[in-house]
Amino acid sequence: MSPALLAVALAAVALQVGAAVSSLLLAPLLARRGWACARRRGPGEVEFVITTKATEGVMGVLREVIERVRRGFPGYTIWVVADHDSPGLGELRLWRWELGFNLVVVPRDYRRGRYKSRAIQYFIDNYVDEDKWYVFLDDDSYPLDDRFLCELRDDVPVYNGHIYPRRGRSLLAWLADGSRYYNSITRQRLALGLLHKPVYGLHGELLIVKGWVLKRVPMASDSLAEDSLYAARLIRAGIPVGMVSTRVSILSPHSVVDFWRQRARWNLGALRDMARGLYPPSMMAGKGVDITLWLLAPLSPLFWGILAASLHGHPHGLEALALAGTGLYALFVANHGLVAARELGPLRGLLLVGLSIPALTLLYYLSPVYATLKAGELGRRFVIIEKSPRHQRPIEPPRESPILEASAAPPPTGVAGLRRGLQG
């Protein structure tokens, strides 16, 4: 057997085992030791921003998100930002009267950025107050508690929360998404909670940013992984990023194919930005390990097989390899089983994940294969997965509300604003 091939196999297996073990060791080290509220940020200090393409497949879950934010944070301003050509724009114009939010429509001729970053940048250019905090949410995500309102510090102007997936129509995609929660409480907590540097990137769900940072560090880009690129810009600007204890509920993909499409966009987008030299060295290392593990996943059986063949006739070596494989299996269960254990109970949740490991492994093996086959198609557009809830509610007739639609300029204030409001 070629020594070079054996070295590659050994390095790949060591990277897999090392990444899993290091995350496990970080979990108890970084566990939060209690929680206390120092000063709660009020409605005049914090505003919520929900960006959406308002396609038919997201309208039901978007309404749920708006309703949950309104109920959970009464008195706080809610902005919904949509494009001029969004299919659900008419429904949003009806909902704003009933649900009480400000609707921002990005005009056709606005040219800063593409995809989701274009909508956010338009909001920043026209509506952001440098002294306020802005909580960015996707159209399928909402906070599960309000602890973050007590944890915001002026010396750390950017925060992320803990990803906590809720089940869509696909049980397998939900179990696979459980790894995002595990990553949140381990390495992401290390990067943001201790180092204050987003070397593994950021996520757009519960991205909390002070207004002056939004004005200083632009969100606009042409990236397919705009959240990670924004993390890179924050690192280059020397802006510290923290982590709040709040969990943010995200809707898992409704199918395995949607899961693959979503991961392909994130990883191919990050690879493209790396190739363009847009990531700082620290983030090249953090995201680089993630993407390397993702790309090498289909070759894992080959690497483990090469090591097993090289250890033929060395019983202690084979025992060590088998022990490493068993440990990796157990860590895989822990990685994906925390959310299932919390939702279904420890016994049922971990048993379900343990039985699903072969299917989950196959899902991961085929993810980069799917991305490679679809790279041309996925690299040309921003992937929007279907997010409709299981039971879509009909739209209720609007009730009268004083909330007006925002347009190309921020809402006027003072006497002029009062006069225009009375005329409207």
pLDDT tens, 197-231? 999 999 999 999 999 999 999 998 888 899 999 99
Residue that wins the pLDDT comparison between 380 and 195: 195
Residue that wins the pLDDT comparison between 181 and 25: 181
Average pLDDT over residues 349-365: 92
**Sequence ranges of the domains in the chain:** 1-30+40-392
Asked if residues 156 and 196 have their Cβ atoms less than 8 Å apart, the reply is: yes
Mean pLDDT of the residues in the chain: 85
> d(Cα 307, Cα 169) in Å, to the nearest integer?
39
Q: What are 353-360's contacts with CB under 8 Å, separation 24+?
A: 353/175, 353/178, 356/172, 356/175, 357/329, 357/332, 357/333, 359/172, 360/172, 360/175, 360/176, 360/332, 360/336
> d(Cα 9, Cα 26) in Å, to the nearest integer?
26
Average pLDDT over residues 11-15: 82
Average pLDDT over residues 22-28: 67
> d(Cα 97, Cα 71) in Å, to the nearest integer?
16
Phi-psi region of 113 (alpha: psi -120 to 50; beta: other; left: phi over 0): left
Which DSSP symbol is given to 267? H
Residue that wins the pLDDT comparison between 14 and 48: 48
Residue that wins the pLDDT comparison between 396 and 3: 3
Kindly tell me if the per-residue pLDDT of 374 is higher than 90: no
For 10, 343, 363, the CA distances from 303, given in Å and listed in that order, are 7, 35, 18
pLDDT value of residue 414: 40
Asked if residues 91 and 139 have their Cβ atoms less than 8 Å apart, the reply is: no
pLDDT value of residue 402: 34
List beta partners, residue 46: 133
Span 265-321, pLDDT tens digits: 999 999 999 999 999 999 999 998 899 989 999 998 888 888 888 877 777 777 887
**What architecture (CATH level 2) is domain 1-30+40-392?**
Alpha-Beta Complex (3.90)
> d(Cα 8, Cα 3) in Å, to the nearest integer?
9
Kindly tell me if the per-residue pLDDT of 423 is higher than 80: no
Kindly tell me if the per-residue pLDDT of 76 is higher than 60: yes
Span 27-55, pLDDT tens digits: 666 656 555 677 899 999 999 999 999 98
Strands (E), 111-199: 133-137, 142-143, 158-166
List beta partners, residue 51: 81
Average pLDDT over residues 114-135: 94
